[in-house]
């Protein structure tokens, strides 16, 4: 095996690969945007318009269109009962089904509307709750890979070459970009003075977690294929 010196390029490349692996692992759990034509979209659109017309519901669909406000979209702020925003989204006007708001709505392009979580229809609640779970899963995965990044940075700081790092902890190969592994597998150069090994345990590196994170990433890539 050829000797591959530890350089900042190598350290940065390992860190970048871990970041990409984290992004890839989170991708299946990204929050679902509100999509036109879905049950939750139609339900939220109706929830918002019902609230907007709540002062005079009998006038909805009765007033001439030029008396009403017909915006391009409505920006929707879903808040908890204390006014803290849970989710931001929007509903759009279409040629087939234009948004028709009461005359009191002054913005003709994208008025804001705040709606309480407790006033949402069941389909919208299901969508919001699923996105909460997705966000929590992404945070969990992100934390896992951030720990991997920190542990690998600490481990590599103790080494002067990729060779000694791989010898002490072979699992690190899972996070080393292939171009550096190709250099490592190349024909060996003249031998260099061996480095004193570091102590993985002293650095408090969880080798099982390192391997598990990388394996989970590979599985997620296989499932996505």
- CA–CA separation, 35 vs 37, rounded Å? 6
Q: What's the pLDDT at 121?
A: 97
Q: What's the pLDDT at 52?
A: 97
Look up the pTM and report it. Answer: 0.76
- CA–CA separation, 42 vs 69, rounded Å? 20
- CA–CA separation, 70 vs 31, rounded Å? 29
Instruction: For 97, list phi and psi in degrees, rounded to 5.
Output: -145, 75
Q: What's the pLDDT at 176?
A: 97
- CA–CA separation, 37 vs 39, rounded Å? 7
- CA–CA separation, 52 vs 68, rounded Å? 12
Q: Find the radius of gyration of the CA atoms of the chain.
A: 27
Q: What's the pLDDT at 222?
A: 67
**Averaged pLDDT, 207-213:** 75
Percent with pLDDT over 90 in the chain: 79
Q: What's the pLDDT at 211?
A: 74
**Averaged pLDDT, 150-171:** 95
Task: Report pLDDT digits (tens) over 5-53.
Answer: 999 999 999 999 999 999 999 999 999 999 999 999 999 999 999 999 9
Q: What's the pLDDT at 190?
A: 58
Task: Report pLDDT digits (tens) over 176-191.
Answer: 999 999 999 997 655 6
Task: Report pLDDT digits (tens) over 107-154.
Answer: 889 999 999 999 999 999 999 999 999 999 999 999 999 999 999 999
Q: What is the average pLDDT value for the chain, to the nearest integer?
A: 90
Closest CA to 122 of 34, 50, 47, 48: 47
- The region that residue 68 occupies, defined by phi over 0 for left and psi between -120 and 50 for alpha, beta otherwise, is beta
């Amino acid at each position: 095996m050829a000797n591959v010196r530890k350089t900042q390029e190598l350290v940065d490349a390992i860190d970048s690969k871990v970041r990409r692996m984290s992004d890839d692992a989170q991708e299946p759990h990204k929050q679902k945007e509100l999509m036109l034509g879905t049950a939750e979209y139609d339900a939220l659109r109706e929830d918002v318009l019902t609230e907007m017309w709540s002062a005079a519901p009998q006038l909805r669909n009765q007033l001439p269109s030029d008396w009403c406000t017909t915006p391009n979209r409505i920006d929707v702020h879903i808040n908890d009962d204390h006014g803290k925003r849970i989710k931001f989204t929007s509903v759009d006007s279409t040629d087939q089904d234009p948004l028709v708001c009461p005359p009191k709505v002054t913005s003709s392009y994208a008025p804001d509307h705040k709606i309480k979580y407790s006033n949402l229809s069941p389909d919208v609640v299901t969508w919001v709750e699923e996105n909460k779970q997705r966000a929590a899963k992404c945070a969990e995965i992100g934390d896992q890979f951030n720990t991997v990044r920190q542990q690998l940075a600490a481990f590599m700081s103790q080494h002067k070459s990729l060779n000694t790092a791989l010898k002490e902890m072979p699992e690190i190969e899972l996070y080393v970009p292939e171009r550096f592994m190709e250099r490592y597998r190349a024909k060996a150069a003249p031998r260099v003075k061996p480095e004193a090994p570091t102590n993985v345990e002293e650095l408090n590196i969880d080798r099982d977690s390192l391997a598990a994170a990388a394996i989970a990433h590979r599985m997620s890539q296989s499932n996505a294929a």
